[in-house]
Structures are given as C-alpha cells and as structure tokens.
Amino acid sequence: MMKTAQNLADASTPLQDERWRQTHLGRLLGHAMRRFDARVLHLMAGNEGVPLALANLASRDQISAAHVHITRHLALEGSRLTDLAKAAGMSKQAMGDLVDQCSAWGLVQREPDPLDARARRVVFTRVGLAWLQAFKDAVAQAEAEFREAVGKDVATVVALGLEAYAI
C-alpha cells in the first residue's frame, strides 16, 4: 500500500516538525549568498570608481548576481567563453548572454585569442577593470560588515569551514 503525505503525518513521524525545511544548511547558505551578493552590488552602485551609467544600472537592480559571475571568474588576461562558463557553473549559452550584456555596458569585449586564431576570448575593458576594482572594494567591505555582525571569531570559523567544505 502506498503511503500518502497524510498517512505519514498521521503516523506521528518526524516529518510533522517541518522547521528543518527552512533552517537546513543548504537553505541558510543560499540566503547568506544572496544577501552577500546583494550587499556587494549595492556597495558597487555607490562606488565613485564605477561609471555613472553602471552605478545607475546596479542601483536599479538591472545588474544582478548573475552578472557578477563574469567579475568573479574572468581571468585578468582574458578567458574563452567555454572556460568562463565552466568556472561559473553555467551553460555556454547563458554565459554568452551575460557576456553580450556586459559587452554592451562596456565592461568586457571579445578579441582574438593569441593562442588560437580560430578562438576568441573575453577580456575586461578599462571600464571593466574599474568595475573589478569596485567589486574588490565592495567584497572587502561586505566581509568586514559580516565580521562586525557575527564577531571576528565566528567569521573566522565560518570562513575556514566554508573553505574546507567548498574545496
């Protein structure tokens, strides 16, 4: 006989306590990441080194955490689209769309790959390098705010734990 959700609930199973669904580690990590990324984008929007047009896009939530994947993963010497997509854990097509948007905003450009004439690579523009510096500054400030909010010792343990878990 197949057990239904009602049968399980009636049987006084541990499933009656549903708090775990809201507080498990994966969900908390997801919330923390979204909060951290939102704070970083907010700080970038107010950074004097970010061109006004980009600051306006960021302040109106037109630039999302997905766009930050390029900022996080694009090598300073440039990256092929396939490598960039793989590093970000995205499909090549999705990364291509993000690169197109970032190219239209003047953050990146495509250029011939000096190692393979058939290939192209994505590189930061001068504006993109300013954006990268603003990203670095915003991450440092958001991390400092996190340390202040939870305490230096807890922040250290969290960072060490996440580093060990993620690698």
pLDDT of residue 58: 72
DSSP β-bridge partners for residue 124: 108
Q: How confident is the model at residue 56 (pLDDT cuts 50, 70, 90)?
A: confident
Rounded CA separation 44/122 (Å): 22
Q: Which of 132, 65, 120 is nearest to 96 (CA)?
A: 120
pTM value is 0.78
Q: What is the pLDDT of residue 138?
A: 93
89-106 per-residue burial string, b: 16 or more CB within 10 A, e: under 16: ebeeeebbebbebbbebe
| pLDDT, position 23 | 84
Q: Which helix (H) or strand (E) holds 25?
A: helix 25-45
Weakest mean pLDDT among 6-20, 47-61, 106-120, 121-135? 6-20
Q: Which of 5-9, 22-26, 76-80 has the lowest mean pLDDT?
A: 5-9
Burial classification of residue 23, based on how many CB atoms lie within 10 Å of its CB (0-12 exposed, 13-18 middle, 19 or more buried) = exposed
For the chain, which domains are there? 25-166 (1.10.10.10)
- Report the distance separating Cα 41 and Cα 69, nearest Å: 12
DSSP class of residue 75 equals -
pLDDT of residue 78: 95
Residue range 58-78, pLDDT digits in tens = 777 777 777 777 888 999 999
- pLDDT tens-digit series, residues 90-113: 999 999 999 999 999 899 999 999
Q: Identify the helix (H) or strand (E) that includes residue 113.
A: strand 108-113
